Structure 1
């Protein structure tokens, strides 16, 4: 049997057994070692706030439509998760294997959800074999690392640039590290003291608490000019508005969070309007427009793997909790009720 995680209803987590399937030609079976929990996207499914529960995405016209019986998501939701690492245990080859295809015994990273084993098309795992010596636990950060790197690329950072990064959870800390590697001066913002301390360790020059004085403090740190750019990763509308106040005239705000509900905290007639702020959405489905001739999501992920392998990203240290898959309900309750208690939670199989 194949154990998998199920959201049966908002706030209700179960681990259920599914039948093990036979491989078809061109497929690979992977035994899961680790699966990282996303404290952002996954909690929207856990809490029942994900827009796919009330609307259906039409990929042809790229609009959400009102959900009906044939479209959208509904509980139970099975196999959520997008940060998996595992070992290849079976390959159903359809002819000779390509040179970059996974073999039995290889450890790979990919996306197959919180389940004991994943069955994937071989093409989905080509180039996903972990480098020799890389801790498999670190590979659980490839996807979240790509999200962070995408936001940093959208911000167009470099030496002399000042960036304010809102939210110093896992993705925010990874973004702080990438931004500092790019030569930018990083001002990190988070309401949790331990995360501000971590931000300083990960490359931030300053780590500030959110609040009414934040924009004034940033003006003082930047000689009155304001930051060049802000990256908002918390998914909180108050933080997004604070990001608009943090940058100076003609500044840029990169909105990388997954925002839910009505955006009532945004006051677009204030700094956004008067400072001519450019607001950019960053989402892992594609890279910034100006880079699409040379970059794609695959390159984002390979870049993260390289940084994990050579030590520029010591992501495994961000794991604060490990839970057996059978105890997954406890993990989600912790993230939902006491977010300050954990950074990265990983499920073990």
Structure 2
């Protein structure tokens, strides 16, 4: 029998390794030994620091409105695993499994753990993808979704705020769409990668007194579109300020708490800004806008094709990479030293 070691958030601010003995495989299951995993920084840090909106409310699946759920959530939200994608090697298969074989490299939406027992239909063969590419399918999905929701036209000016993995992949997708790309971040590591990925103008938001005004000046009137990937209300406010009259702002980041830094009575209202949300995720069953709705599974296949054709690169995105024994330190670094990381990975 194998011992599974998982990285778990026990309560806000407290993550550690939890051990359990794996049960025998069911006929449709496989045993996967992990090789490389990655975190989903924005969403998972809300879980880690206790700021997730799902601590107090849940989305009613029929009405699609948030309703109070605080009593139930506080009993069941924690403990919770961390990490959202893993590449591994199949070590055993159930008697009914035919889609993968022992020794095959696979990937799936799996948390940080040394072993996984999971239904075979929840994993995919790595094929010609590199492990690094596989771990970036998820942020690639949201980057591409944001670009499609924004309906970028050739020659438009686009600002990207929040240069995590999603924002940096969005830089590349915007360039592929023929846009002039402005990008802003207070983190030097991310600004440098944005330049390497083809951004035309990259600003240090810590050195700019008023980002909205500076973008208006540089773009001669404002950008046509902003992809706001930070999930921070002050950045969303600046995104609205940086946009031309009747321009668009697409919210790609996940927001939490009250929007005290966002004033809808100023530029948003008087410049008639269109504010859109982009969330092409399996769990919420949202398509991207367009003549033919595209859902997460379709977007992910498009991202895989772009990786394989080398239209989009992930070089430099996974950093730093921690040993599994240091997984707790990795979480603390993401939370307290975001300027030193882009997309943190765990190797086993």
TM-score norm. by structure 2 comes to: 0.91
User: How far is the alpha carbon of 1:241 from its aligned partner?
Assistant: 0.6
For 1:179, the equivalent position in structure 2 comes to: 174
Q: Give the Cα separation in 2 of the matches to 1:77 and 1:137.
A: 28
For 2:20, the equivalent position in structure 1 comes to: 18
When residues 346 and 269 of structure 1 are mapped into structure 2, their CA distance, relative to the original with a 3 A threshold, is same
Q: Give the Cα separation in 1 of the matches to 2:80 and 2:318.
A: 24
Judge conservation of contact 1:38–1:81 (CA < 8 Å) in 2. Answer: yes
For 2:147, the equivalent position in structure 1 comes to: 152
Q: Give the Cα separation in 2 of the matches to 1:81 and 1:63.
A: 27
Q: Give the Cα separation in 1 of the matches to 2:307 and 2:91.
A: 24
Which is worse superposed, 68-77 or 150-159? 68-77
Provide Cα deviations, 1:171-210, integer angstroms capped at 9, x if missing partner: 1111101111111111001112332222111111001133
When residues 26 and 317 of structure 1 are mapped into structure 2, their CA distance, relative to the original with a 3 A threshold, is same
Judge conservation of contact 1:4–1:78 (CA < 8 Å) in 2. Answer: no
Q: Give the Cα separation in 1 of the matches to 2:110 and 2:306.
A: 23
Q: Which of the residues 258, 261, 281 maps onto 1:262?
A: 258
For 1:42, the equivalent position in structure 2 comes to: 44
User: How far is the alpha carbon of 1:292 from its aligned partner?
Assistant: 4.4
Alignment of 1:72-221 (within 5 A): 74=76, 76-94=78-96, 97=98, 101-125=99-123, 128-132=124-128, 134-210=129-205, 211-221=208-218
User: How far is the alpha carbon of 1:93 from its aligned partner?
Assistant: 4.5
Q: Give the Cα separation in 2 of the matches to 1:158 and 1:140.
A: 29
Structure 2: state its 5+ residue gaps. Answer: none
User: How far is the alpha carbon of 1:34 from its aligned partner?
Assistant: 1.1
Judge conservation of contact 2:189–2:340 (CA < 8 Å) in 1. Answer: no
Judge conservation of contact 1:57–1:72 (CA < 8 Å) in 2. Answer: no
Q: Give the Cα separation in 1 of the matches to 2:162 and 2:73.
A: 33
Equivalent residue of 2:307, what SS? helix
Equivalent residue of 1:137, what SS? helix
Alignment of 1:270-281 (within 5 A): 270-281=266-277
Equivalent residue of 1:56, what SS? strand
Equivalent residue of 1:289, what SS? coil
Q: Give the Cα separation in 2 of the matches to 1:116 and 1:292.
A: 40
Structure 1: state its 5+ residue gaps. Answer: none
Judge conservation of contact 1:55–1:72 (CA < 8 Å) in 2. Answer: no
Judge conservation of contact 2:29–2:119 (CA < 8 Å) in 1. Answer: yes
Q: Give the Cα separation in 1 of the matches to 2:36 and 2:320.
A: 12
Provide Cα deviations, 1:212-249, integer angstroms capped at 9, x if missing partner: 4322332233332x111100001110000111011111
Does 1:334 pair with 2:336? no
Report the number of matched residues: 340
User: How far is the alpha carbon of 1:170 from its aligned partner?
Assistant: 1.6
Q: Give the Cα separation in 1 of the matches to 2:298 and 2:31.
A: 24
Cα RMSD (Å): 1.9
When residues 64 and 317 of structure 1 are mapped into structure 2, their CA distance, relative to the original with a 3 A threshold, is same
Equivalent residue of 2:265, what SS? coil
Provide Cα deviations, 1:93-113, integer angstroms capped at 9, x if missing partner: 437x3xxx3332222221121
Q: Give the Cα separation in 2 of the matches to 1:204 and 1:186.
A: 5
Equivalent residue of 2:310, what SS? coil
Which is worse superposed, 75-84 or 199-208? 75-84
Q: Give the Cα separation in 2 of the matches to 1:317 and 1:236.
A: 24
Which is worse superposed, 33-42 or 210-219? 210-219
User: How far is the alpha carbon of 1:71 from its aligned partner?
Assistant: 4.5
